[in-house]
Structures are given as C-alpha cells and as structure tokens.
Amino acid sequence: MKKLTTPKELRDLQAKIKESVNPDKSRIIICAGSGCLAYGTKKLIDGFEAEIEKQNLQDVVEVRTSGCHGFCERGPITLISPENVFYQKVGLNDAAEIIEKTVLNGEVIDRLLYVDPQTGEKIVHENEVAFYSKQTRNVLGSNSKIDPTKIEDYLAIDGYSALAKVLTESTPQGVIDEIIEANLRGRGGGGFPAGWKWDATRKAQGTPKYVICNADEGDPGAYMDRSVLEGNPHVVLEGMLIGAYAIGSSEGYIYVRNEYPLAVANITIAIEKARELGLLGENILGTDFCFDVKINRGGGAFVCGESSALFASIEGRAGEPRAKYIHATDRGLYDKPTCLNNVETWANVPLIINKGAKWYQGIGTENSKGTKIFALVGKINNTGLVEVPMGITLREIVFDIGGGIPKGRKFKAVQTGGPSGGCIPEEYLDMPVDFDELTKLGSMMGSGGMIVMDDRTCMVDVARYFLRFLEEESCGKCTPCREGVHQMRVILDRICEGNGQEGDIETLEWMGQAIADGSLCALGGSAPAPVLSTIRFFRDEYEAHIKDKKCPAGVCKDLITFTIDPETCNGCRLCFKPCPTDAISGEKKQVHVVDQEKCIQCGACFEVCKFDAVIVK
Amino acid sequence: MPDKVSLTIDGRTVDAPAGSTILQAAQRANIYIPHLCHNDELKPYGACRLCLVEITHGKRTRQVASCIYEITEGLEVKTDTERVKNVRKLVVELMLARNPKHPAIRKIASKVGVEKTRFAVEIKGCILCGMCIRTCREVVGVNAISYKSRGFLREVATPFNESPTDCIACGSCAYVCPVDFIQMTEKNGVRTIWNTEFPLQKCKKCGRDIAPEKQLEYFRKKVNLPENHFDTCLHCR
C-alpha cells in the first residue's frame, strides 16, 4: 500500500476498502483474544479454513479472526455474519457442522446458542444477549469488527478519520480545549483530567516532548487494557497521534508489560502498517506533523506501572518512583516534558474528536464522563469485560450484566481498584460507580478490576492476598512501604494461622494510616486500602480469627476442620480417591471418618461429595 | 526570581534562599526535623520518610518529605502534627525491627517518643538509607556498589556478590553509613572492605601506611598528579 499524502487520499482509501466488501459473502468471525486462544481456538480457526478449502467455498464464505469480544465466560465465541448469529462455547471440532448447517443452509445450531438464564430462551443474535445489550460498548465494540493485524479493517470503520479531522480543522490548542470540555479523565486509576495534563505538557519548557502509553496493567484480575491493545491497537495509536499533535510532541513510547505477548505482537504489526501508510513518521498526511513510536516491554515489575518508575525503566534504570513534587509534565522521561496516559484513555480520544465533546458529555455522571471498561471476574456467572457508562450501579454490573453468583451462592463483596482499592459489601450495591463515589467507601474505581466474592471467601485472607502481592512488588525504596507492608503481612499471616493477638486490628489500623501518609508513591500510599476496608466492613471476621481462632468462611486452613456428617454420609467411598493423605477411612456403606491428624484441609473431599456430607467449620 | 523566600514553620516566619528545601530552611532556623537518609553532600533521596512534614498551600494540605520539597513563598509548614508524628513513630519502629540496638536509631527513637518496636524483629543491620551507594556514585564517582533485589529483599551489594571491581577502598561508604554496617579493617598493610583485600601504599621514606594503592591511583589520575606523587606520605613530602 502506498503512503497517504493527503487527508483526501485517506478518505478515498477508506471508501475503496468499504466498497470492496462483498455484502453477499458470509463471514465467520472468530474471537482471537488471549482468553479464547487459551481455549484452543487456533484449532477451530484451522478447522474452518480446512473445510472451506475442502469444499471450495472461497467465494461463498470467509474466515476472519477478531479482537476480544468480552464475553470471556462463554468462549470460544464465533459470529456468523451477515445474519449476526452468536455462537458461544463453540467446540473445537464444530467447524464443519457450522459451515454445513448455518452458513450453507441458514440453520441455527441450538446447542451453541446462549440461553438466557432468566427466561430460559435461546438467543440467536449477539445484540439480544443481555450481557451485551445492557452495555455501552463505545470502545470495545469495535473489537469484533476488525482483525487487529489488518489496518484495512480499521480504515473500514473510519479509522484515522479523527486524526485527519484534527490535522485539517483544528489547532493544537483547539484539540486540547475539546478534550478538556469532554472531561476525559485518566482511565488508569488516577482519574486526572487528560486535557489539563495535555495542556500542561504543551505549555512546559523543553524539547523534545514525549507522549507515553502506559500499558503495564498490573492489577491482578484486570485485563481491559490487554484486550484493547490486542484487539484494536490502531485506536490507541490514533489517540496518541492526536495527543502528540496537540502537545507538540514527535516521539512516543508504548510501555507494555512483557506478560502480554499477543498485545506486543499486535501493536508491533500495527505500528509497521501505520508507518507503511505514512500515518506514523514524517509529514503525516502531507502536514508538518511528524510522530513515531517505540515499544518498550516491561521486565515484570508491578511498580513500573507507576509513571515515574516507568520513566526510570525506559531510561534503563531499575523501576523506582521518585517524589512527584515536580510534575512529569514539566520534567518526566529524560527530565523532559512528558504526557503519560493509560491505554483506555488514549482509546477514548478518537471517539471524542469524531463525535464531539458535547456528545461525550452526554454519557456518564457530572464529573465522570464517558464509559469505563471493567474486568468482571471472580465468583460471577458472566466473567468478562464489561463497558458501561459511568454512574451505573454495582448491582446492575454484578447482577444484570454479570448474571449474579454461580452455584446459587450468596454475594458477599466486590473488590474494586485492585491492590489500591477496597471491598464493598452488599449494603452498598446501589452505589454508582465512577471516579468519586467509591472513594467514600474507602475503595476506588481504579483501572477497572472488579472481583466478585461469595460467602465462601474469607475477607481476612483477601487482605492477606493483596498484602503478599504488594510486599513482593514494592520497589523497596521507602521505609513505610517496604517494611510496613511486610510487617502488615506478617500480622495477617499470624491472624490466619490462629496466632492473632488482642490489639492486632488496632495496630493494623494505626499502621495503615501511617503507611498511607508516609509512602513515597501510590503503591505504598494505597497499600493499606484492602486491609482497612475489610476491617471497616468485615471486622467481625477479623475478630473471629483472632478471638475464636475460627474462619467463618471456611478458608484459612489452620482454622478449619473437615468432618463428615454421620447423618448424611452414605458410605459411597467417593472421597477416598481424591484424598492426598489417605485421611478418610470407613467400610463401604458405613459412615466415613476423617482422621484429623492426617487431614491437610485441601478440600478435595468437599468438592467431590455428591451428598454434601462433608462439613467445613 | 527573588533570592529569598519567606515561609512559616510551626508558626515561625523563616527566610531562606530560593531553591532551598524545607529541611535546609528548618536547619537554618534551628528547627529540628529528624532524618536518616539525608546528607548535605548528597542529592536528596527521600527514602527514610522520617523528615516528613505537613504543608498547606492554599486549601490543600498534604505530607511531603522536607529533604526534597523546594520552598515556595508563603508556604505553611508544620513539623509536629499527629499524622506526621505517627509516620515518624512507625518508621522508627520499623527500623528498630531491622536494627534494634544501634545508637543512631535509638537516639531518633527517643526523640520521637518510641521505646521499643512492636514488630517482629528480623536483624538486618542495614536500614537501606542508600547513603553508601549514593556517596560512591555522586561523590567518589566509581559506582562500585548498588542495590540488589526489590522490596523487603533489597540489599546493598557488590555486582554479582563478588569482589567489587571498581571499588577503590576509599572507605567513604563505611564513613557515611549511619549505623556502622559496612565493615572496614586494616591489618598488615592491607585494608579489607566488601570482603576484598586492598594493599595499602607504604611511604617510601618512613614506611607508614598511607592509603589503599587503588584509591591513591584513582585520585592521582583524576587530578592529574605526577606518577610518584603518593610515593611519600604528607609528613615526608
């Protein structure tokens, strides 16, 4: 493909690509995000291609792979277009059947349809599936329409039009004003108004100025940025281009964690293709604007998601934050003015330029505009990525879209904001989710991780989990974080092992405040949040662990015993085999007994017993 | 740009040169702020967090490290609020858990009102203030030692835990360490530091030990002195 030297050439190319699409040809679109690939969809993709080859159907139907569709619980996912048939949990050997029945004969395969749990109805079309219909997929929606490795697909959905619009119709300050008016706030967790950040960088002294995409996404359970970067890398590039034009930058970096190989691969391809078309490089679309981008991969440190540690990492130093009294917009990467924004923040930019700030303001709440992508994971029926307008309630996300708690268990809490956030109990399910509301409960919206917990989750163990994570990820520079988080974890371990002492809770509360106040960066500054919020809302569980040496949720191994109820046990011996220590004894059809000396509380017997005869206390 | 800046510390008006940090301004006014990772010869590091103070600028109040924060006109600083005191107490107790006995820490402990630590003690000695590394890098300029590992496992170390190839055995790291963690000994014409032996240069006239050969060679080259400059000691020169 030739370099585009004017905006008109871009428009002509977009039109040409759209025209080349044969409306009569069927398309089989297979989700090729990391989640579905982990199910083994490569085999499915090969199966479709082989079948089309075998039956010589190249003119009738084509196979395409797309970015992540978001309904990860139901993968592998396949869409058949133009009918828009939605198949979920597709078997890896189903290719031939789908082609035969659905593509060639227009028949729908019942067992691959999504069944609405409320009505029992089988849903044929994607837009009627409640998981999707209740979302507002302004950003993620494009994923299912494009193959992320093909720039033509992105152009076909009017990709790079926002860039052309900005280069022909706006001044750099005009772009900044638009982003300020839209009130786009950072999606990485900080929620800082992006427009003001761009403005400060533009006004700062010094060259070169840098534009950075933070794709280090480290919160456990969060994978929003992964799906955007894997599934639609061009929207991120377009956002960065627009930002660079506004700020006066010609050099950008994408810092992506190395644990996202597909995202690294797809953004690398996207950059190559964009350069081929002249959308990156010198004199973009025939203007004076030059911009190009380098990829930096992370080395496996959560702390490198912190902006000043990220700069150190790019500079080749160990990822250690520095005090933020001097803003990165004045002195950031290489001590030059730097504008760092999250993947999802950049991905929102073309949208705002194309549809206008006023349109964007129509979505969300007064101070939190637009949509937010959440990774809904944990004890939830519909695990996946959910994009909703800000202001929606937790209840709507967890129950209406998420489908509630599996196995009929009871909702206990939802953890938001990753290791920087807290746990929110049932009584606050009607809280709206946005940048400001959840902070009132000692949590935060954060980057979008949302871990749902049921009644078999021990909240003390949850606090311990996050402390262990942060203890390992602390850079080690400042005393409150390095030593404080470590000592908090030591106390939590003692409590979970049955050695909790009177005064431990008060010590944790005191430490928490001091660590939050004293830490150098936000890792330490927010580290106490999971502990303090679980103490706030689940103090009784802590007290049970400390005073009664009991774990009410039946999780902490040192505090629970597994026994068999003699009333319910029918002597089937099913629990014998999975027991790793041969701790269960008993004749066939006689009541079985657990030898407490041998039992290691692994829970295998509890999992396999069909009669609920194993009691965990 | 004005040369002098006026700020208040604990209600007192203090004047200090523009570009000073809060800690420098406080020291000029004889106001005590505890610190353990600060040295006037080194760039501020802000790691121990003992020097935390509370500042109010307009409507916003927050805690900042006074060794790093540059003063501004009209800045309101408080060195003794509850929140600041609690951070200091926590930091001291955490340091005592690593090094319960050294007088430098015990001195600060008694100044902030801490008698002992409530935390599980795991003796490490080093308090990771970083002054040895920063001195070696910024003052001496040989960068012989650095940090190894991350978080609680962080340690000051030589490359690959082996004898440090760039060390000149000047002893600056041992000198600057507030808790005497770095061992340096001299015996039989040899200085031992970082588990490595460095022969001492002897004075050709009186036979006294001057300093490690490597250190003298480094200085000699750095300021372009003649090859035999350190053949004799100061007394014999």
> What is the 8-class DSSP label of residue A37?
H
Q: Rounded to an integer, what is the distance from CA A364 to the centroid of its chain?
A: 20
Domains of chain B (ranges; CATH) run 1-124 (3.10.20.740), 131-231 (no CATH)
Q: Shortest Cα distance from A522 to chain B (angstroms)?
A: 13
H-helix or E-strand spanning residue A424: strand A423-425
- Using an 8 Å CB-CB cutoff, list chain B residues near A322: 46
Same domain, A237 and A332: yes
Nearest to B91 among A471, A474, A518 (CB): A518
Strands B190-193 and B196-202: antiparallel
User: Per-residue pLDDT averaged across A43-62, rounded?
Assistant: 94
Preferred mutation among A513, A517, A519, A523 to probe B, highest tally of B CBs within 10 A: A517
pLDDT for A35 equals 93
CATH number for the domain including A578?
Answer: 3.30.70.20
pLDDT mean across residues, chain B: 95
What are the tens digits of pLDDT across the range A68-85?
Answer: 999 999 999 999 998 889
- Using an 8 Å CB-CB cutoff, list chain B residues near A308: none
| Buried b / exposed e along A396-416 (16+ C-beta atoms within 10 A) | bbbbbbbbbbeeeeebbbbbb
A407/A235: higher pLDDT: A235
Asked if A475 has any chain B CB less than 8 Å from its own CB, the reply is yes
CATH number for the domain including A308?
Answer: 3.40.50.11540
HEC states along A86-150?
EECCCCCCCHHHHHHHHHHCCCCCHHHCEECCCCCCEECEHHHCHHHHCCCCCCHHHHHHCCCCC
Q: At what angle do helices A504-518 and B82-98 cross, to 10 degrees?
A: 110
Local structure of A476: helix, strand or coil? coil
User: Per-residue pLDDT averaged across A376-380, rounded?
Assistant: 97
Domain span at A494? 459-547
Q: Shortest Cα distance from A312 to chain B (angstroms)?
A: 15
CATH number for the domain including A61?
Answer: 3.40.30.10
- Among A113, A128, A143, where does a domain finish? A128
Distance CA(A542)–CA(A460), nearest Å, equals: 6
pLDDT for A597 equals 92
A:515-534 residues touching chain B, CB 8 A cutoff: 515, 517-520
> What is the 8-class DSSP label of residue B13?
E
Distance CA(A336)–CA(A338), nearest Å, equals: 6
Q: Is the pLDDT of residue B2 over 90?
A: no
Distance CA(A272)–CA(A111), nearest Å, equals: 41
Which tokens belong to A225?
């940025």
Same domain, A226 and A248: yes
Q: Shortest Cα distance from B91 to chain A (angstroms)?
A: 6
- For residue A322, what are the contacts with CB-CB under 8 A and spacing of at least 6? A308, A312, A520, B46
Same domain, A67 and A45: yes
Strands B76-78 and B4-9: parallel
- Identify whether A19 is part of a domain: no
Nearest to A325 among B52, B64, B95 (CB): B64
Query: Which residues on chain B place their C-beta less than 8 Å from a C-beta of chain A?
Result: 46-49, 52, 63-65, 68-70, 83-84, 86-87, 89-91, 94-95, 97-98, 118-120, 127-128, 130, 147, 149-154
CATH number for the domain including A516?
Answer: 1.20.1440.230
CA atoms within 13 A on the CB side of A141: 18
Q: Is the pLDDT of residue A264 over 80?
A: yes
- Identify whether A17 is part of a domain: no
> What is the 8-class DSSP label of residue A256?
E
What are the tens digits of pLDDT across the range B12-41?
Answer: 999 999 999 999 999 999 999 999 999 999
Residue A54 neighbours by CB distance under 10 Å: 10
- Among A547, A577, A606, where does a domain finish? A547
Nearest to A471 among B49, B89, B152 (CB): B152
Residue A81 neighbours by CB distance under 10 Å: 17
Q: At what angle do helices A529-547 and A459-473 cross, to 10 degrees?
A: 130
Same domain, A357 and A497: no
- Among A454, A487, A519, where does a domain finish? A454
- Using an 8 Å CB-CB cutoff, list chain B residues near A487: 94, 97, 119-120
- Identify whether A28 is part of a domain: yes
Which tokens belong to B110?
């008694």
What are the tens digits of pLDDT across the range A326-345?
Answer: 999 999 999 999 999 999 99
pLDDT for B1 equals 56
User: What is the pLDDT confidence band of residue B148, given thresholds at 50, 70 and 90?
Assistant: very high
User: Per-residue pLDDT averaged across A368-380, rounded?
Assistant: 97
> What is the 8-class DSSP label of residue A329?
T
Q: Is the pLDDT of residue B152 over 90?
A: yes
Residue that is written with structure tokens 């000149």 in the block: B168
User: What is the pLDDT confidence band of residue A23, given thresholds at 50, 70 and 90?
Assistant: confident
- Identify whether A31 is part of a domain: yes
* Residue A108 main-chain phi, psi, to 5 deg: -100, 135
Q: Shortest Cα distance from B160 to chain A (angstroms)?
A: 16
Region of residue A87 (phi > 0: left; psi between -120 and 50: alpha; otherwise: beta) = beta
User: What is the pLDDT confidence band of residue A398, given thresholds at 50, 70 and 90?
Assistant: very high
Distance CA(A343)–CA(A271), nearest Å, equals: 15
Which tokens belong to A437?
């509301």
- Using an 8 Å CB-CB cutoff, list chain B residues near A483: 94-95, 97-98, 152
Residue A322 neighbours by CB distance under 10 Å: 19
Burial of A34 (0-12, 13-18, 19+ CB in 10 A): middle
- Using an 8 Å CB-CB cutoff, list chain A residues near B128: 476, 479, 482
Q: Shortest Cα distance from A480 to chain B (angstroms)?
A: 6
Which tokens belong to A128?
């009627």
Q: Please give the residue of chain B at the shortest CA–CA distance from A480.
A: B91
User: Per-residue pLDDT averaged across B198-206, rounded?
Assistant: 95
User: Per-residue pLDDT averaged across A118-141, rounded?
Assistant: 93
Burial of A286 (0-12, 13-18, 19+ CB in 10 A): middle
pLDDT for B83 equals 96
Among residues A289, A252, A284, A278, the alpha carbon closest in space to that of A172 is found at A289
Distance CA(B162)–CA(B194), nearest Å, equals: 9
Strands B146-148 and B184-187: unpaired
Nearest to A483 among B86, B97, B147 (CB): B97
Same domain, A333 and A202: yes
Same domain, A576 and A534: no
CB contact under 8 A, A480 and B49: yes
Residue B155 neighbours by CB distance under 10 Å: 12
* Residue B95 main-chain phi, psi, to 5 deg: -70, -40
- Using an 8 Å CB-CB cutoff, list chain A residues near B64: 323, 325
CB contact under 8 A, A476 and B150: yes
Asked if A601 has any chain B CB less than 8 Å from its own CB, the reply is no
* Residue A471 main-chain phi, psi, to 5 deg: -60, -40
Same domain, A204 and A308: yes
Q: Shortest Cα distance from A504 to chain B (angstroms)?
A: 10
Q: Shortest Cα distance from B68 to chain A (angstroms)?
A: 8
Q: Shortest Cα distance from A572 to chain B (angstroms)?
A: 48
CATH number for the domain including A402?
Answer: 3.10.20.600
Specify the range with the lowest mean pLDDT, choosing from A167-176, B57-66, B89-98, B113-122: B57-66
Q: Is the pLDDT of residue A407 over 90?
A: no
Nearest to A480 among B87, B127, B147 (CB): B87
Same domain, A390 and A405: yes
- Using an 8 Å CB-CB cutoff, list chain B residues near A518: 49, 52, 63, 87, 90-91
CA dihedral A247, A154, A141, A310 (to 10 degrees): -40
Report the share of chain A in percent with pLDDT over 70. Answer: 100
- For residue A85, what are the contacts with CB-CB under 8 A and spacing of at least 6? A79, A102, A108, A124, A125
pLDDT for A617 equals 83
Q: Please give the residue of chain A at the shortest CA–CA distance from B150.
A: A475
Strands A411-416 and A292-297: unpaired
Q: Is-cis flag, bond preceding A76, omega within 30?
A: yes
What are the tens digits of pLDDT across the range A197-254?
Answer: 999 999 999 999 999 999 999 999 999 999 999 999 999 999 999 999 999 999 999 9
Q: Shortest Cα distance from B217 to chain A (angstroms)?
A: 30
Preferred mutation among B94, B122, B156 to probe A, highest tally of A CBs within 10 A: B94
- Identify whether A9 is part of a domain: no
Q: Shortest Cα distance from B28 to chain A (angstroms)?
A: 22
| Buried b / exposed e along A89-125 (16+ C-beta atoms within 10 A) | bbeeebbebbbeebbeeeeeeeebbbeeeeeeeebbe
Residue A378 · residue A418 · CB < 8 Å: no
Q: Please give the residue of chain A at the shortest CA–CA distance from B53.
A: A518
- Identify whether A142 is part of a domain: no
- Using an 8 Å CB-CB cutoff, list chain B residues near A472: 150-151
Same domain, A108 and A212: no
User: Per-residue pLDDT averaged across A596-602, rounded?
Assistant: 92
Asked if A484 has any chain B CB less than 8 Å from its own CB, the reply is yes
Nearest to A475 among B69, B95, B150 (CB): B150
Number of folded domains that form chain A: 5
Distance CA(A175)–CA(A198), nearest Å, equals: 10
CB contact under 8 A, B89 and A514: yes
Same domain, A316 and A226: yes
ipTM of the complex: 0.95
Residue B126 · residue B48 · CB < 8 Å: no
Among residues A553, A392, A531, the alpha carbon closest in space to that of A469 is found at A531
Same domain, A447 and A565: no
Distance CA(B233)–CA(B237), nearest Å, equals: 6
Q: Please give the residue of chain B at the shortest CA–CA distance from A510.
A: B86
- Which residues share a beta bridge with B78? B54
Residue that is written with structure tokens 């004749």 in the block: A587
Nearest to A510 among B49, B86, B95 (CB): B86
User: Per-residue pLDDT averaged across A509-537, rounded?
Assistant: 97
Residue A246 · residue A273 · CB < 8 Å: no
Distance CA(A239)–CA(A251), nearest Å, equals: 14
Burial of A5 (0-12, 13-18, 19+ CB in 10 A): middle
Q: Shortest Cα distance from A505 to chain B (angstroms)?
A: 13
Q: Please give the residue of chain B at the shortest CA–CA distance from A516.
A: B87
Residue A484 · residue B93 · CB < 8 Å: no
Pairs across A and B, CB distance < 8 A: 100
| Buried b / exposed e along A148-164 (16+ C-beta atoms within 10 A) | bbbbbbbbbbebbbbbb
* Residue A440 main-chain phi, psi, to 5 deg: -65, -20
User: What is the pLDDT confidence band of residue A521, given thresholds at 50, 70 and 90?
Assistant: very high
Q: Please give the residue of chain A at the shortest CA–CA distance from B37.
A: A478
Burial of A297 (0-12, 13-18, 19+ CB in 10 A): middle
- Identify whether A74 is part of a domain: yes
Residue A363 neighbours by CB distance under 10 Å: 17
- Identify whether A465 is part of a domain: yes
Asked if A34 has any chain B CB less than 8 Å from its own CB, the reply is no
User: Per-residue pLDDT averaged across A427-431, rounded?
Assistant: 96
Same domain, A395 and A414: yes
> What is the 8-class DSSP label of residue A299?
-
Among residues A605, A591, A610, the alpha carbon closest in space to that of A562 is found at A605
* Residue B187 main-chain phi, psi, to 5 deg: -160, 135
Q: Shortest Cα distance from A183 to chain B (angstroms)?
A: 22
